[in-house]
Amino acid sequence: MKVLQFPLARITIAFIAGILLAYFLKPILPIVFAFLAIAIIIIFRSYYSSKKNKKIQLHFGIATYILAFSIGITTQTIHTDSNQKNNYTHYKNIFEKKHTFTLTLREKLKSTVFNERYIAILNSIDQEKASGRILLNINKDSTKHSFAISSQLKIDALLYKNTSQKNPNQFDYQKYLENKQIYAQLYIEPNQIQLNPKISKDIWYYTSQLRTRIIQNLEKSKFNNKELNVAVALIMGQQQDIDPEIIQDYQYAGAVHILSVSGLHIGFILLFVSFALKPFPNTKKGTFVKLLITLAIMLLFGILAGLAPSVVRSVTMFSFVAIGQYLRRSVNIYHTLLVSVLLILLFQPSFLFDVGFQLSYVALFFIVWLQPLIANLWQPKNKIVNYFWDILTVSLAAQIGTLPLSIYYFHQFPGLFFITNIIVIPFLSIIMGVGCLVMVFASFNWVPFYLAKFLEISIYHLNKIIGFIASLEQFIIKDIPLNTALLLSSYLVIITTIIAFQQKRFKNFIWVLIAIVTFQLSAIGTKWEVQNQVEFVVLNTSKNTQLIERNGANTNLYANDSLLKNVKANKVLTSYLTANFSTLTEKNKLKNLMYFKGKKILLIDSSKAYPKNVLPDVLIFTQSPRINFERLLQTMKPKMVVVDASNYKSFQKRWKATCSQQKIPFHSTSEKGFYKIN
């Protein structure tokens, strides 16, 4: 690959490798700084040595990569909030009792059924200076409470540490929040909040106020609410208020990427700004003024859109494009991508672990690399046909590049993505043009009626088209299993195939065959691993009991009738089956006595009916049976007691104390998550 011949590409790879090492190993700061100092000394020595003796220039190259690697480690370590001395995670008894917190609201998130949610920055704890990001959950009540971004709140409450996933193979929300430097949450009632009348009027406040003003002015103009929420997502990247059904339709149609501001949107912005600034003279001074205005508008747009990873990436990349145009140089898109990656990760290394960031960069890379190859297969002379052919080739290149990663994270594939994009891109160009104008006018408290109505009708029809495509569920492939080994080997197949297609040489075809064999070996290894796994799992589901017995790829579910009848809607079970490459072969009602790998498993529910003369290895309690727990333990002498989330918490607390007295291991799925025997 030619891109790997760029020194900047190899430096970027070394830098990212350093970030990954620091992320997983979490080294302490003194060691990190010592390694950085050694790397700096090495590069200086190798630089002066290479000037005297050109034969050892290779040493300078290696020293450069070592320095990039050490900078990656240092960047990740420094930007990890929990490493800061005044971060709240280091505060004594922070999760054990109530404290008085003062905090500043930074970002409004999508609400849940019960709570309004914000990301907040801590200012102090019990009047002592503190720092860090938390998730603030404000309980919804009969009165609507809305707090402006940058509002300062004082709260007396208990801080809760993020809990890990309670069921196997589910989305790890704790890790997701940790990647965003959020380690804890507050759950409060509105009457617990003391609002400081003085608001910290920073850039977050002004951009939030601008967004609010635009939305309120559009609401006053009788802009339909559903279409307004989609418009706000398309233009300003704010998805908090979109109807979940609409988001699902966009996901199933393969168009969810347009709801988050990305390179496509910023590209439109750059085109519009360039068109609007055409009257400026093409003198040296005029061109420089145009550059400053363009950069300022893109920066403002990025802040307005909330500085999400995809927004930051797109704004950074197109800023380099604009600078390249100003310098009258042909912009090497690979260099632009690499520089934008380096700059973004230098200031926000946590973006590397953001799924949207990964997908957007992979999509962009494959569009730049693969799309010209596909486009050259056919070059239609008709301009209209050529326009739609370009859309199709761009969409196909992006989809090929992101396919393994999308399946790895979301386990589904929208089969009609190419039809969606052929329809959506022309629509989006019109909506973006009109939408930007409407938003600009709305920011000045004037909404042009006909333009706003045209925008509303366009989005309405766009939603209808997306909804129709999403309704064709037979074209949506769901629950596709993919592990890390298959992910990496599938990319090896894709990359080697493209290189062989680009450069038709014998050795390249050999590499394709090696990649295919590697993929096959990964598949065989995965199948062998699955076939040799045997486990019994007690899941954590409130109000219900679910037990899973898996032997290789065959899974048996034990549950009550209501769950057995509606297995397709059981997301916990679906996640488990997909991740473990297995299928549901049996469905059985819950039994009181089960055997697994020579162990007796006794289940006692609210009916209190169970065989009396059994000495179980594992005793499972469900549905809060009212029973003399202490006498039962003395009679049965179990080696392990497991209680699932269907039991009352008061019962669980009492049972735990009894087990502690009798020195019997106790496992509550509500507290520790699922229980597994293997």
pLDDT tens, residue by residue, 347-384: 889 889 988 888 888 888 888 888 889 988 888 888 88
DSSP string, 224-244: -HHHHHHHHHHHH---TTS-H
- Chain centroid offset of residue 608 CA: 45
Measured distance CA(307)–CA(589) in Å, rounded: 50
Look at residue 309 in the predicted model and tell me its pLDDT: 60
CA nearest to 541, candidates 669, 677, 666: 669
Among the ranges given (415-429, 546-560, 583-597, 646-660), the one the predictor scored with the smallest mean pLDDT: 415-429
Look at residue 564 in the predicted model and tell me its pLDDT: 86
Residue 243 has pLDDT above 60, yes or no: yes
Residue 238 has pLDDT above 90, yes or no: no
The model's pLDDT over 492-536, given as tens digits with 9 standing for 90+, comes to 999 999 999 888 889 999 999 999 999 999 999 999 999 999 999
What is the number of residues in the chain?
Answer: 678
Look at residue 500 in the predicted model and tell me its pLDDT: 92
CA distances from 632 to 128, 645, 649 (A): 51, 21, 19
For 598-644, strand residue ranges (E) read 599-604, 618-621, 640-643
CA nearest to 406, candidates 306, 476, 511, 308: 476
Look at residue 54 in the predicted model and tell me its pLDDT: 61
Q: What is the mean pLDDT of the chain?
A: 86
Mean per-residue pLDDT for 265-272? 74
Measured distance CA(592)–CA(598) in Å, rounded: 16
Instruction: Mention every residue, 6+ apart, whose C-beta is less than 8 A from residue 236.
Output: 211, 214, 261, 304, 305, 306, 439
Percentage of the chain lying above the pLDDT 90 cut: 37
* Phi/psi at 377 (5° precision): -65, -30
Residue 392 confidence class, pLDDT cut points 50, 70, 90:
confident
Residue type, 39: A
> CA geometry: angle at 64 spanning 19 and 401, to 5°?
50
Residue 419 confidence class, pLDDT cut points 50, 70, 90:
confident
Look at residue 154 in the predicted model and tell me its pLDDT: 92
Residue 336 confidence class, pLDDT cut points 50, 70, 90:
confident
At 677, list the tokens.
Answer: 């025997």
Look at residue 356 in the predicted model and tell me its pLDDT: 80
Look at residue 301 in the predicted model and tell me its pLDDT: 77
> 360: helix, coil or strand?
helix
Measured distance CA(158)–CA(93) in Å, rounded: 10
- Chain centroid offset of residue 284 CA: 43
Residue 74 confidence class, pLDDT cut points 50, 70, 90:
very high
Q: With 0-12 CB in 10 A as exposed, 13-18 as middle and 19+ as buried, what is 123?
A: middle
257 compared with 125, residue with greater pLDDT: 125
Write out 169-213 in H/E/C secondary structure.
CCCCHHHHHHHCCEEEEEEECHHHEEEECCCCCCHHHHHHHHHHH
Q: Tell me the torsion sign for CA atoms 140, 143, 147, 151.
A: negative
Look at residue 182 in the predicted model and tell me its pLDDT: 93
CA distances from 329 to 271, 319, 321, 325, 326 (A): 18, 14, 10, 6, 8
CA nearest to 625, candidates 602, 644, 651, 601: 651
Write out 453-477 in H/E/C secondary structure.
HHHHHHHHHHHHHHHHHHHCHHHEE
At 43, list the tokens.
Answer: 């590069």
CA nearest to 395, candidates 427, 418, 415: 418
Mean per-residue pLDDT for 469-475? 85
Residue 674 confidence class, pLDDT cut points 50, 70, 90:
very high
Measured distance CA(486)–CA(318) in Å, rounded: 34
Residue found by looking up tokens 């988050």 in the block:
260
Among the ranges given (151-165, 213-227, 333-347, 652-666), the one the predictor scored with the smallest mean pLDDT: 333-347
Residue 37 confidence class, pLDDT cut points 50, 70, 90:
very high
Torsion on CA atoms 242, 243, 247, 252, rounded to nearest 10: -160
DSSP string, 72-139: HHHHHHHT-GGGSTTBGGGSTTTTTS-EEEEEEEEEE----SSEEEEEEEEEEETTEE-B-EEEEEEE
The model's pLDDT over 197-216, given as tens digits with 9 standing for 90+, comes to 888 787 778 888 888 888 88
Measured distance CA(418)–CA(196) in Å, rounded: 51
* Phi/psi at 316 (5° precision): -60, -45
